[in-house]
Amino acid sequence: FFFYFNFMHVPCLKIVLRKTMGILILVGIVIAPLPQIWKVLWSGSSNGLCLTSIFLELLAISTHAAFCYTQNFPIGAWGESLFALIQIAVLTLLVQHYRGKPIKGIYFLAVYCGFMFLLASPLTPVSVVWTLYEWNVLLVIAGRFFQAGSNFRWGHTGQLSALSVFLNFLGSLGRIFSSLQDTGLSLLTQMYVVACCCSGVILAQVLMYWNKCVTNSQKEGQEEKDKAE
């Protein structure tokens, strides 16, 4: 493929595409939360971010990391999930902070650390961890569904990072290709397709509501302050 430039050699083409998609998945998992964290910190607001969606995303990544840990997989096989869950936990804390609920954010972080310790310890049956791991993709789908519903309800995407959404969409595409190569058109592959479609909907909403974000975010921020008072 590389030495003779025989780009029509199907086995080599599949290997290259699979490695490329693997990189896309890695980028989608590791880097995606960073632009969102930066945007929240830069704007000093978390308007437009659905807290339920973030919770479900965090739970999905946490169950994946806990499963890999309990199965004694090498850190290289799941280290990106550990890095991602730390970022999403920080994002959750920031959302609570900018909504005027820092104490709840600290309580959540303490409860979450306890939950992860319990999930990764021998106290939790392996069957429970395995079941949560199998429901992993459904948690992701539910989280993105809630975020898309929140965008539609408010009529804008607020401080939702377009780059983070785009990276999640690329990661979803990579998972579809990898799953097709590994298991064919299985139920897992179909769930990845649904998750990718949800990411595509959110990406379309970001582009559609692009010019409405500033005005509506300010209006929503004022409403949140009024409720807090």
Q: 119-142: per-residue pLDDT in tens?
A: 888 888 888 888 888 888 889 899
Separation of alpha carbons 33 and 89, rounded Å: 10
**Tokens representing residue 50 in the block:** 């659905």
> 94-131 burial string, b = 16+ CB within 10 Å, else e?
bbbbbbeeeeebeebeeebeeebeebbeeebeeeebee
Separation of alpha carbons 194 and 214, rounded Å: 30
The residues near 20 (Cβ < 8 Å, ≥ 6 apart) are: 174
Say what the pTM is.
Answer: 0.80
Q: Which domain holds residue 163?
A: 10-227
Separation of alpha carbons 165 and 167, rounded Å: 6
- Say if residues 106 and 159 touch (Cβ distance below 8 Å): no
3-state SS string for the chain? CCCCCCCCCHHHHHHHHHHHHHHHHHHHHHCCHHHHHHHHHHHCCCCCCCHHHHHHHHHHHHHHHHHHHHCCCCHHHHHHHHHHHHHHHHHHHHHHHHCCCHHHHHHHHHHHHHHHHHHHCCCCCHHHHHHHHHCHHHHHHHHHHHHHHHHHHHCCCCCCCHHHHHHHHHHHHHHHHHHHHHHCCCHHHHHHHHHHHHHHHHHHHHHHCHHHHHHHHHHHHHHHHHHHC
pLDDT at 37: 93
Examine the pLDDT at 147 and tell me if it is beyond 90.
yes
Please report whether residue 5 resides in a domain: no
Please report whether residue 3 resides in a domain: no
Examine the pLDDT at 167 and tell me if it is beyond 80.
yes
User: Number of structural domains, the chain?
Assistant: 1
Please report whether residue 18 resides in a domain: yes
Please report whether residue 143 resides in a domain: yes
pLDDT at 191: 82
Please report whether residue 199 resides in a domain: yes
Q: Which of 37, 132, 178 is nearest to 94 (CA)?
A: 37
Rounded average pLDDT over 36-52: 90
Query: Which amino acid is it at 26?
Result: L
Please report whether residue 1 resides in a domain: no
Of residues 79 and 35, more confidence is placed in: 35
Please report whether residue 126 resides in a domain: yes
pLDDT in tens, 52-83: 999 999 999 899 888 888 888 887 677 778 88
Please report whether residue 78 resides in a domain: yes
Examine the pLDDT at 226 and tell me if it is beyond 60.
no
Of residues 200 and 182, more confidence is placed in: 200
pLDDT at 212: 67
